[in-house]
Structure 1
Amino acid sequence: MTILDGFLFIAIFAIWAILIVNVILTIAGYAYYLKWSRTTPPTLPSAPPFVSIMVPAHNEGIVIVKTVQALLALDYPADRYEIIVINDNSSDNSADLLKALQQLHPDRNLTVVNTDKTNGGKGKSNALNIGLQHARGSVISIYDADNTPEHDALRYLVAELLSDDHYGAVIGKFRTRNKNATILTRFINVETLSFQWMAQAGRQQLFKLCTIPGTNYVIRRDLLEQIGGWDVKALSEDTEISFQVYARNYRIKFQPLAVTWEQEPQTLDVWFHQRTRWVKGNIYVVLKNAHKIFTKAGRHIRFDLIYFMSIYFLLMTSLILSDSVFVLSVAGVVHSDINGFSNGLWLTAVLAFVISTFVTITTEKSEMKFSNLLVIIAMYLIYSQMWLVVAAYWMVNYVREQVFHQQAKWYKTKRYK
């Protein structure tokens, strides 16, 4: 066996190991779904807690009105929640639109916090920390500016949070609002159902572990204050705050009944910048907490730390290597003795990916259609390669930022009407 074959064998083993883990998560997630579908929905107490809903918004004039209207229509006692929109150094018409909403609903607890370049425009974490200073609730809820939660979402989240004192936060499910806009949003729709909803359910089932997704969640205010708010250096403030919750011996519960619909990127450039920010943010959090892998303090997040490190380092490197060898061998540039073997495994991996992914979308009856089966096949062949480009771009930029001591900047995702 040549050195090339040795590296290729390691790459194939790594890819298959992670694929098997994801299949196991899918099976466990489906088991969670079956168990959850037979449970009685949680109910609010007669005197529900006061909730502060915070919405960070930077130049969100296109979507902010629809989001606030959805929040005003929530099935939660109107006098028991407030909405705080942090209009974060916006240069569009957001301030005027929000002021008009306040005038239209003078009897509602709708607060607009306008920041400028002196204290705002520094990313989502900074905006949330500013909003927290104005919040009155014992429970804090977060929604992104492009979200339209279903009317009962907040009620289910808060009821679940109150059902167990060990829950520090409760997260809901999010769906793709513009899934039919482009082939890219069709990919994202399946990705959301498979690698968000089902992966969260699988980790909940196996490890009582899940990660805050950045929107459609509630968290105890006193816990937030213990943590010290959101880390302003974290581009993925959701992953960071999740690890902080577990570090204080609280748990995060997943409640799929709480659903929000969010807008997803419709073009490659917007998707690329958003996903690059996600990768950068998650790697920052992983590296920040990597020392906890073999400590007692990190026992609750050990799986996530190893999983994220495997995905962002081992899997991405292995995929790039195996794809490169495949292309070069077809071109006749290199020769691998196990190339035929690897091609057989590749075809098997495609089948495993397609079958397991299609199983995940069967939990949503409206998604069980032949066109989605074709979308899933295309995802393996196209969408996964797009992620490789993101990973490669991140690796280059991460090295550059470390060498030149540059601070990663927050990228604002473009919205659509």
Structure 2
Amino acid sequence: MFIFIISIVLLLISGFPYLYYLLGIKFGKKTLPVTVLNEDQYPPVSVIISAYNEEKIIAERLENLIEGGYSLEKFELIFIDDNSSDNTKKLAESKLADLGVNYRIFSNDSRKGTNRSYNFALGIAENNIVVTTDANKFFEKDALRVLISRLLSDDRIAAVCAETKPFAKSAKERTGGMESVYRGFYGRMCDWESANDSTYNFNGSLVAFKKDIIGSIKENKGADDANTAFEAIRKGYRAAYVMDAVIYEKIPPNIHKQYKQKVRRAKRLIEATLSNLDLLGEKRIFSRRFYPVRIMMYVTSPFLFLLGTVLFFISLFIFNAIAATLLLVLLLLFVYAKKSSFISSFIINQIYLLLGLLNIRKDMRTWESTSV
């Protein structure tokens, strides 16, 4: 009985951050819809893309970027090929030459990763408004204009990011269904944080920031998106999540590819989280209400959830081995068959977070293409 009680307590503690955010999403403050700027109010922007082995989709991606509605006269594109082993650079250069955009293209002599590639591009970017975006994501029309409108709507905002969703086709697949549930909850969490102060849980798919405030991105630890947001917060500004600006990604249908992608993302998010603990001392809503709960969510909850689950089933086995075995089998079947349910998504993401923690010392600054 004692083991059972301990297991329930651990499971309740591990679930606290999620309950906290569920209540905040339901009853908390929401951000107002973005008021889109008039055409003549948009500033010139420098858009940075870092790509590795994206020959399958790079031409389509660049076309999508240019067709987003932003005036080409106010558009500078800096393309960094991160030492691809395929024809990414050649295809990108050919496509950019046809699109009539002001562009510069560079190749790294070895794998650098997004953080270092972005910092190189930041050093040569001509405009104060800088946009970083992935080579394998696709904008919804006007996503960039909505994002820039939000960035310029408040002088206290130094960085913004877009909402990322799986393509409709991907969302119907097993891996995409789970990601769709996760992204839906993730975005609303970030929106609540942004409405009150700031979020550092950015989507690297599309980020915009002010270069005179954020002059570089921390290279050695953490993801480029989270580090960009943290830099804004560290300078006393706000970092906001913009649900009105939508960008889509193709989710790998291959479980192995998605596993590697999710563990890498989890590890780099946790790394960024633990690299900025000094911000807990700041006298602002972010530092007092959100950051501590995020630390618990990413660092404490996965271990407590695993331990609580193990103790729970041990206590059931002691009481009734047959019933415990049956319940465990049913739970595994449910998670396998219903990956798009909130419960399954929660359990699987606890595993990814735990694996991210276990890989915290591993260098994951470079990545493999997940384009399909």
User: Given the two structures, how large is their TM-score scaled by the length of structure 2?
Assistant: 0.86
Which residue among 194, 205, 226 is the counterpart of 1:215? Answer: 205
Contact 1:71–1:83 (CA under 8 A) maintained in structure 2: no
Q: Where does 1:18-57 land on structure 2 (aligned, <5 Å)? A: 18-28=17-27, 32=30, 36=32, 39=33, 41-44=35-38, 46-57=40-51
Which residue among 149, 156, 162 is the counterpart of 2:152? Answer: 162
- CA drift of 1:245 comes to 0.5
Cα deviation digits, residues 375-405 of structure 1 (max 9, x gap)? 643x414x3333343344344444xx4xxxx
Q: Where does 1:219-258 land on structure 2 (aligned, <5 Å)? A: 219-225=209-215, 229-258=216-245
**Counterpart check, 1:89 vs 2:83:** yes
Give 1:367's aligned residue. none
Question: Aligned residues: percent identity?
Answer: 19
Aligned mates of 1:103, 1:394 — CA distance in 2: 40
User: Given the two structures, how large is their TM-score scaled by the length of structure 1?
Assistant: 0.78
Larger mean CA deviation between 296-305 and 8-17 belongs to: 296-305
- CA drift of 1:205 comes to 3.0
Give 1:109's aligned residue. 102
Change (3 A) 1:98 1:209: closer
SS of aligned partner of 2:162: strand
Aligned mates of 1:24, 1:413 — CA distance in 2: 37
SS of aligned partner of 1:68: helix
Give 1:59's aligned residue. 53
Root-mean-square deviation (Å): 2.8
Which residue among 342, 347, 354 is the counterpart of 1:385? Answer: 347
Change (3 A) 1:130 1:250: same
**Counterpart check, 1:322 vs 2:311:** no
SS of aligned partner of 2:233: helix
In the alignment of these two chains, the number of paired residues is 359
Contact 1:54–1:143 (CA under 8 A) maintained in structure 2: yes
**Counterpart check, 1:416 vs 2:341:** no
Contact 1:175–1:192 (CA under 8 A) maintained in structure 2: yes
Cα deviation digits, residues 263-306 of structure 1 (max 9, x gap)? 2232222222222222221222222222332x236763444431
The one-letter amino acid paired with 2:141 is H
Q: What 5-or-longer segments of structure 1 have no aligned partner?
A: 348-373, 402-406
- CA drift of 1:180 comes to 4.0
Give 2:334's aligned residue. none
Give 2:192's aligned residue. 202
Cα deviation digits, residues 321-347 of structure 1 (max 9, x gap)? 221123323433899xxxx9xx9xxx9
Q: Where does 1:395-414 land on structure 2 (aligned, <5 Å)? A: 395-398=357-360, 401=361, 408-414=363-369
SS of aligned partner of 1:222: coil
The one-letter amino acid paired with 1:307 is V
Cα deviation digits, residues 75-116 of structure 1 (max 9, x gap)? 1211001121111111101121012113323x3212211221
Aligned mates of 1:397, 1:191 — CA distance in 2: 21
Aligned mates of 1:252, 1:188 — CA distance in 2: 24
Change (3 A) 1:115 1:396: closer
Structure 1's consecutive aligned runs of 4 or more residues displaced over 6 angstroms after TM superposition are none
Change (3 A) 1:386 1:212: closer
Change (3 A) 1:28 1:254: farther
Contact 1:274–1:411 (CA under 8 A) maintained in structure 2: no
**Counterpart check, 1:190 vs 2:145:** no
Contact 1:209–1:252 (CA under 8 A) maintained in structure 2: yes
Change (3 A) 1:40 1:218: closer
Change (3 A) 1:396 1:165: closer
Aligned mates of 2:302, 2:224 — CA distance in 1: 23
Contact 1:169–1:251 (CA under 8 A) maintained in structure 2: yes
Aligned mates of 2:201, 2:349 — CA distance in 1: 21
Q: What 5-or-longer segments of structure 2 have no aligned partner?
A: 332-337
Change (3 A) 1:333 1:128: farther
SS of aligned partner of 1:75: coil
Q: Where does 1:67-82 land on structure 2 (aligned, <5 Å)? A: 67-82=61-76
Aligned mates of 2:148, 2:88 — CA distance in 1: 29
Change (3 A) 1:129 1:48: same
Which residue among 247, 256, 272 is the counterpart of 2:259? Answer: 272
- CA drift of 1:131 comes to 1.6
Larger mean CA deviation between 49-58 and 172-181 belongs to: 172-181
SS of aligned partner of 1:52: strand
- CA drift of 1:190 comes to 1.9
Cα deviation digits, residues 320-375 of structure 1 (max 9, x gap)? 1221123323433899xxxx9xx9xxx9xxxxxxxxxxxxxxxxxxxxxxxxxx66
SS of aligned partner of 2:85: coil
Aligned mates of 1:392, 1:254 — CA distance in 2: 25
Contact 1:149–1:261 (CA under 8 A) maintained in structure 2: yes
Aligned mates of 2:302, 2:370 — CA distance in 1: 29
- CA drift of 1:217 comes to 2.1
Q: Where does 1:238-387 land on structure 2 (aligned, <5 Å)? A: 238-293=225-280, 295-296=281-282, 300-332=286-318, 376-377=340-341, 379-381=342-344, 383-387=345-349
Larger mean CA deviation between 81-90 and 211-220 belongs to: 211-220
Give 1:350's aligned residue. none
Give 2:161's aligned residue. 171
The one-letter amino acid paired with 1:250 is Y
SS of aligned partner of 2:275: helix
